Every structure is written in structure tokens, then in C-alpha cells.
Structure 1
């Protein structure tokens, strides 16, 4: 806005100098910070510069811009960018202002992690006066606990972390490493949440959720594991629009839409996406994306046979006697 008050151009764009590849538009400028050209989604290693378009624009002549947009002929999703290029070619001055502060694009789901990290880092820790924290629970580091939260015995919250209003952190649960727990969640007994974003109204029980993004209203059966690390320790890929995308992350769990469920002992491999309103059945090991509104179940084949095993009660009694001697003294007879 300050630059616009100087009336140094007809349009103004914010640009950000990124330290790593970003799959978006790159701004090519001259020595006066005026736009020369926009390079839309170059391949990694072919970027013209590190100045990216962060889509905060001010146009003093929007009618002219709309005229140029109507004239664009392209089969790609770059109509707006082509219009800006054509404006520049016809002498329309567009000034690019570099934005120096934090910027996190949310182009892909895993970009949420960067935004959560930033917001937790700049936030002040605090525990609502209406929250209940058991004396046997452990709260460490920068933790934000909202209204009417309950943290039960032997639960551990190791910040930075955020716990939404009305949520329950159950016995022996562990929440850690930049995790966000939405409102009205139940993080049940012996669940571990590591570096994950969990929406409102989710339930877990004896589950492991690592570096995952979970929509609202999801439920995870006992023993569910959302794996987040490859055996070969390489970067994790995800499929987006039929294309394989390198996420740039060596730890990434599942990306799950709203209102999904898993059965007991279900496993989801790193980088897998599950569409909204879907179910992963008991004992399923999910290695491919699951479309919205689908259910995947395992179909094991079992045989029923006569039981040939005869139990030896003496072995059990002998083991119990040995256990009773633990502690250095025998019980009185």
C-alpha cells in the first residue's frame, strides 16, 4: 500500500524470495523491480530466479486487466498470468515489492506443517482456567491448552503443541512435536500423536499418528498406525492429480479427509491419501490412495480344526512361584 501511494506503477505485486523450489509462478524483474515476465511452474532446477509470486496484488486499473484476461488464449490454468505478461508487453508498468516476513504457501496438504510450526513458535503458552490437568500428567515446553480440556493421569504433552477446546487427552497418551489437536477430540488411552494436524471431533485409541493431516470427525480403531518413515529413509512421494510429487519430506504420514474411520490394527503407509467418508477395515495395510466414499476390507481365509493342544497346568504354577519370589522375599505360608 505504501508503494501504491507513491503511484510508481499501475499495478503492484508482492514477491517472496524462497530458499527452495516452489511449484508456482516465478517473477522476472528488471533493476527497477518492475515485472518483465512470469514463468509459471518451471521444472525444478529451471527457475529463472528465486522470487516467487505470492498472489497479493493491487491493480489501479482493474477494467483494463479484465479486458486483457478476456483476450487470453491458453489451454493451461495460467490465464491471469498471461494477461499480466501481455500488459507488460504493451507498456503497463507493474512494480514488484519484495515481502521479507514469513510466508508459507498451502499448495499441498503437507505445507500445513510449516504454517502450524510458525504459528506455534510465535504464540504464547497458556492453560485455560477451565481446563483440568491431572497432577499425574506432564506438560512440558510451549503448550496451549484451551477451554474445558481434560488431561488425564499419566498423559504427556510435550510442546510446542496446541490442544483445542473441549478435547480429552487420555491416560498414557503422548502428544508432541508441533502437534495441533482440534476441538472436541478424544486422544484415547496410549495414543501417540507426533507432529500432526488433527481436525475437530476426532477419536483415537491406542493409535500411532505420525506427521499426518487428519480432517474433522475421524475415528481410529485400537492399534491403528499411520506410518511416517520409509525403510530406505528417502523422501516420501505423494500422488496429486495423477502425478507423483516429491514432498521433500523424509517423514510424512497419512493425509485423511473428513469423516473417515479405521478398524482395529489398520496400517496406513507413508504419504497415502484417504478421501472423505471412507473406511479402512480391520487389519488392512493400505499402500495405495483410497478414493472418497470407499471402504477397503481384508478378506483372510481361515480354517477351523480340532484343537490338539493339551495344557500343562504345572508349568503355569511353577512360573507363578518364580514370579512370587521377585523382590527378594518369599510370601508367608
Structure 2
């Protein structure tokens, strides 16, 4: 069975992190985001993986090569981003029978994918409290009868998570969709055609996460780091103390006086300490450095980034090759205990999180003794002055710490 993984998007809502890394290749645990989907697809029975690539497609090609986990890999290029049906249609030359389409920037529970692969045609359906922001299914006797986008009065609370098992006939239908009102070719139009012609099973998805914004990358890492099993392959020196499910990869170094509380992953080439404290679903990427007296909590630190001296970073995402000056302090909690807001595509947006720190873009730097407000975003190659209290673009409303 061919499995099409959509991985062409630019990830504008994830900026500035995606200025340097394609969104499907952002780190989640010990592998890129889309590798979790590829791994689950292989375990569910994929005979071939077809990645639809576009923005920074070379990152995807370099990671997966021509064969992945013993399964052949093919690539299709989406030069223009004209919607999900348009993306999947680029894979048409590789489709010879029934096929599965998955989003490369979503995480699915593996049992659901197993069930999806076993049923054809079928779609993944996830239950939410408020379905109005989603595509919502009408379901009768376990079969989908309709899908409605962002309805004011939802027909159910089971929503579309972008996981489809299509019959062979739908391969041609991918190329026959009309432009929607928003100027895209929608894969839900293909699904509607399949629903008209077939009984389409609604497969229950117990756990799902669409990873489109920085705090969702944090949540994705909380999920996958929570599945770690303790493994210490690197160099742990002196009286360093590792508690719980901590993974220290070969080539990583933990200096004396360090305390790491799992779940935490310290990747190859990373250096921690001396006298640092790492806790709470933290990923320290390859060749990162967390130095003396630093505390890092529930944070993603991407490859090549340094937090070298007497700093605090909590509930944050640090892009690659950034550097936080000595004494940098990240605030991650509002004084009024409200949800932290941040700026996405120029608009202030709630993260839905009581605790959220900062997003630091690739190559950015802070001056010594910088204070970063909750939800602030430091752009790619941006910087702060020594002693600056940095709020980022579009300052927060009253109540931010």
C-alpha cells in the first residue's frame, strides 16, 4: 500500500522556527516530526512512502533517502502550494491501488493508524469539545455521510484529522477538484466524492495533535518525550544525578553537579553543566550547550543552541544556533494567571497555556541579563541589548509578567 505524506508546506504559523527548518522536520523527541508519522505508517503496513515536498524539500530528502525502515521512498514536488488535494495529486504517478494520505505535521496514535489501514475507504475521526473550528463529520452507523467545514452548528463533535484511506478510484479524483472559495484544491472535496460512491468508515482516533504553531511543537515533545525509556549511553561525570526516564545519547556529556529529571532527552554532542538543572519534558538537541547554573524546564532547545551561564528558560522553544547571554531570564507565567498570548502571522493569539515562555528564532542572541516576557518572539538573527526587558512584537495586554 502506498502512503502519501504531505510535507510541502512552509509553516508560516511556526515562524521564525521554520526560517531554517522545514516544518515537518522540526524536532520531536529523537526524530523529525514527520518521521513519527512515517514510522507509524511502516508499522501499520506501508509498502511505499511517497513524500510530497516543497519548501526546503531537500531536508526531507536528505533524512529519508531512497529507503526508510526497509520501505522504498518516493518524492513528489509541489512547486505551488494550492491546497491539500493539489498536494496529494502530485503523488498520482506513484499510486497504483488504494492508498493512504496523512499530514506530515500531525501526530496520530498508532492504534488508530492500524485501524485506518485495515479499513477502506476510511477516515480518522477525533472527538473534541468544540468542533466549530474544524471540518466536522456527519456519521451514521459508523460511516461518514458528510463533512462540513467550520460549521456554526456542528452535526457532531467528531472532526477530520487529515488521515484518509482512499480507494484506487480516488487517485484520479485528486486531479479533478475545483478551486474552493479560498482559492485552494481541497482534499475534503475528494472525500465528499468518495462518501457519495462508497461506505466510508469513521475510524476513532484516540489521540491526535496538529502541530502548526510553536506551543504545539512544545506539546508534541511533551507527548513523545513522555514515551521515553531510560537509557544512558553518553558520558556522565562525577556526582551528576539523573532521575527517572532520561536518555543521554552516545557523544553527549553531563558534567558534575547536574540534575536531570525525566522525561528528558540529551542528544549526541550536547553538553550539560556543571551545576545545571534540566527537568520537565525537555529536549536538548544535537550539539547544544547548557552551562553552569542554568535551569531549563519543559523546553525544546534545537541543534547548536547555547544557554551557557546562570540563566532560566521555561516552557519555551529555542531555534537552532541561538545564544542566550549570561543571566537571561525567561518569564513564562502571567501575573493574572491568564493564558499566555503570543504573535502568530502578525496577530496576537492565545496559546491556551497558563505557562508559555518564548520563541527564539534561528541564530538569535540575547545580551547579558536580558528579561524575556511570556509569549515574546525573538526573530531570526534578532538580538537584545544587555539588561533589556524584551516584550517582542505587539506587546502583551496588561497582566503579563
TM-score by shorter chain over 0.5:
yes
Report what 2:145 is aligned to.
35
| Structure with greater contact order relative to length (CA < 8 Å, sep ≥ 6) | 2
Superposed CA offset, 1:196-228 (max 9, x none):
011111111211111001111111000111211
Sort the Cα spacing of 1:13 and 1:6 in 2 relative to 1 into closer, same or farther, 3 A.
closer
Superposed CA offset, 1:173-196 (max 9, x none):
110011111011110111110100
Which residues of 2 match residues 176-255 of structure 1 at below 5 A? 176-204=279-307, 205-255=309-359
Is 2:218 the partner of 1:108? Answer: no
Sort the Cα spacing of 1:234 and 1:265 in 2 relative to 1 into closer, same or farther, 3 A.
same
Superposed CA offset, 1:9-44 (max 9, x none):
xx432222235668442222233422312223x57x
Contact persistence 1:18–1:51 (CA under 8 A): yes
Is 2:159 the partner of 1:56? Answer: no
CA RMSD of superposed structures (Å): 2.6
Which residues of 2 match residues 1-333 of structure 1 at below 5 A? 11-18=121-128, 23-40=133-150, 47-60=154-167, 61-69=169-177, 71-75=178-182, 79-85=186-192, 87=193, 91-93=196-198, 95-128=200-233, 131-204=234-307, 205-289=309-393
Contact persistence 1:30–1:36 (CA under 8 A): no
Contact persistence 1:267–1:286 (CA under 8 A): yes
Contact persistence 1:15–1:96 (CA under 8 A): no
TM-score, normalising length: structure 2: 0.63
CA apart distance, 1:3: 6.7
**For 1:116, what is the secondary structure of its paired residue?**
helix
Worse-matched range after superposition: 268-277 or 26-35:
26-35
**For 1:34, what is the secondary structure of its paired residue?**
strand
**For 2:209, what is the secondary structure of its paired residue?**
coil
TM-score, normalising length: structure 1: 0.75
**For 1:135, what is the secondary structure of its paired residue?**
coil
Sort the Cα spacing of 1:195 and 1:252 in 2 relative to 1 into closer, same or farther, 3 A.
same
Number of equivalenced pairs: 279
Sort the Cα spacing of 1:55 and 1:246 in 2 relative to 1 into closer, same or farther, 3 A.
same
Sort the Cα spacing of 1:245 and 1:92 in 2 relative to 1 into closer, same or farther, 3 A.
farther
**For 2:247, what is the secondary structure of its paired residue?**
strand
CA distance in 1, matches of 2:219, 2:160: 18
**For 2:296, what is the secondary structure of its paired residue?**
strand
Sort the Cα spacing of 1:73 and 1:102 in 2 relative to 1 into closer, same or farther, 3 A.
closer
Sort the Cα spacing of 1:239 and 1:77 in 2 relative to 1 into closer, same or farther, 3 A.
farther
Greater Rg over alpha carbons, structure: 1
Contact persistence 1:26–1:49 (CA under 8 A): yes
